[in-house]
Amino acid sequence: MSEIEQHLHGKVAVVTGASRGIGRAIALRLAARGAAVACVATTAERAGDTAQACAQVGGRAIAYGVDVARTDAVAELVNQVQAELGGLDLLVNNAGITRDQLLLRMSEADFDAVVNTNLKGSWNFIRAASRSLMKSRGRIVNIASVVGLTGNAGQANYAASKAGLIGLTRSVAKELASRQVCCNAVAPGYIDTDMTAAIDPKAREALLGAIPLGRTGVADDVALAVDFLAGPGGAYITGQVLVVDGGLSL
């Protein structure tokens, strides 16, 4: 990855949920493009390994810890990142959780946890970062899900949070367009990470059969889409949802 064009050289990126899975792959891709990367997870310790790996492929990287659902703590963290890395050009809202359950059995706590992390967490970061992004004419990429477009039995909380995130993306795109800030969403299908590891083998087989490209996705499939939207190819794209699902939602 060290030989790819460094079109993010001199830029500062924040990636939430960077400790593992899709977020780690995104952080590594952006670092390889030359960005300084703030790697955010629930604790700085959990994001430490990704930050170290980013520093090896790219430039500066610092690990940060915050619960994305905590509005004041996120605002403080965004200020800290700018002070330590020297600005803010790209925000990737990737942190997310599932608490799957059929509607009648879903607890209020499980609904709130998913919406507060996936949707409010992204809003927290966008709000805290938007002034700086307006100055830098930056980019925002929100990691949604195809489930936010199609719905899914057993995921009313998760699908609502991701559909909300798509609405947030389009609204922010309209609001910040005059300041040359582009805001898009990437909607992955089934990607092999810790999040999908718990799915039972039978359900996985059935899902696999429904994916026209005949394979599940890997984290880097999503990271490459983010890389595109963050780079020169994304300059005239805003308010869009880029589906990365091997055709699953067709």
Minimal distance in Å, beta carbon 185 to ligand NAP? 10
* Shorter beta-carbon distance to ligand NAP: residue 85 or 191: 191
Q: Are residues 249 and 32 in contact, defined by beta-carbon separation less than 8 angstroms?
A: no
* Shorter beta-carbon distance to ligand NAP: residue 209 or 232: 209
* Shorter beta-carbon distance to ligand NAP: residue 12 or 187: 187
Catalytic residue among 64, 158, 190, 236: 158
Is 158 marked active-site?
yes
Buried b (16+ CB within 10 A) or exposed e, 193-226: bebeeeeeeeeeeeeeeebeeeebbebbbbbebb
Both tokens of 149, joined, read 């477009």
* Shorter beta-carbon distance to ligand NAP: residue 173 or 191: 191
Minimal distance in Å, beta carbon 178 to ligand NAP? 28
Minimal distance in Å, beta carbon 19 to ligand NAP? 4
User: Secondary structure of 123-183 in the HEC alphabet?
Assistant: HHHHHHHHHHHHHHCCEEEEECCCHHHHCCCCCHHHHHHHHHHHHHHHHHHHHHHHHCCEE
Binding stretches for ligand NAP (CB under 6 A): 16-23, 41-42, 46, 67-69, 94-97, 117-118, 143, 145, 188, 190-191, 193-196
Give the DSSP letter of residue 191: B
Minimal distance in Å, beta carbon 227 to ligand NAP? 15
Nearest-angstrom CA–CA distance, 144 and 95: 10
Show which residues are catalytic.
Answer: 158
